[in-house]
C-alpha cells in the first residue's frame, strides 16, 4: 500500500540554524500539507500546497518557514532560523483533494 515517507526521522539542530525537512507524498496525490505537533499538544496545521503554490497557511507559518516541491516527488519544509519553540514533530500529509489526508511517520525536530 502506498504511503507518505519523511526524512530524517529525527533532526537535532542549534538555535538559529536552518533545517530542511523532506517528504515524499503518495505518488498520485496532488495536495500536500505540513502539520506539527508540539509534545503533549494537538496536531496543528501549518500549510497546504497545490499546483506548485501555497493554497492556505496558518499564522504559525511565518516568514521563517517556506515550502517547495523541487521535483516531481519531493515536498520540503524549510525553517530558516530555528527557535527553541520550533521543537516538535512535523508531519507531512498528502491527499487527492477528496477530503482524506494521509500522514507520514513524522520528523522529530529538536532545537537546542
Partner 1 sequence: QKEVEQNSGPLSVPEGAIASLNCTYSDRVSQSFFWYRQYSGKSPELIMSIYSNGDKEDGRFTAQLNKASQYVSLLIRDSQPSDSATYLCAFAYSSASKIIFGSGTRLSIRP
- Tell me which residues touch partner 1 (CB under 8 A): 31, 33, 35, 41-45, 48, 50, 55-56, 58, 89, 91, 95, 97-106
Tell me the closest approach of the beta carbon of residue 62 to partner 1, in angstroms.
16
Tell me the closest approach of the beta carbon of residue 33 to partner 1, in angstroms.
7
End-to-end CA distance of the chain: 37
Measure the CA–CA gap between 71 and 61, rounded to whole angstroms: 22
Dihedral over alpha carbons 101, 110, 62, 97 (to 10 degrees): -10
Tell me the closest approach of the beta carbon of residue 60 to partner 1, in angstroms.
12
Measure the CA–CA gap between 111 and 101, rounded to whole angstroms: 28
CB nearer to partner 1: pick between 28 and 99 = 99
CB nearer to partner 1: pick between 76 and 105 = 105
Amino acid at each position: 500500500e502506498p504511503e507518505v515517507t519523511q526524512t530524517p526521522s529525527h533532526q537535532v539542530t542549534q538555535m538559529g540554524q536552518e533545517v530542511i525537512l523532506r517528504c515524499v507524498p503518495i505518488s498520485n496525490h496532488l495536495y500536500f500539507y505540513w502539520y506539527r505537533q508540539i509534545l503533549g499538544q494537538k496536531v496543528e496545521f501549518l500549510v497546504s500546497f497545490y499546483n506548485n503554490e501555497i493554497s492556505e497557511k496558518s499564522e504559525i507559518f511565518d516568514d521563517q518557514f517556506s515550502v517547495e516541491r523541487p521535483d516531481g516527488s519531493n515536498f520540503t519544509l524549510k525553517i530558516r532560523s530555528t527557535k527553541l519553540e520550533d521543537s516538535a514533530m512535523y508531519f507531512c500529509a498528502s491527499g487527492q483533494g477528496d477530503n482524506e489526508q494521509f500522514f507520514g511517520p513524522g520528523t522529530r525536530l529538536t532545537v537546542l
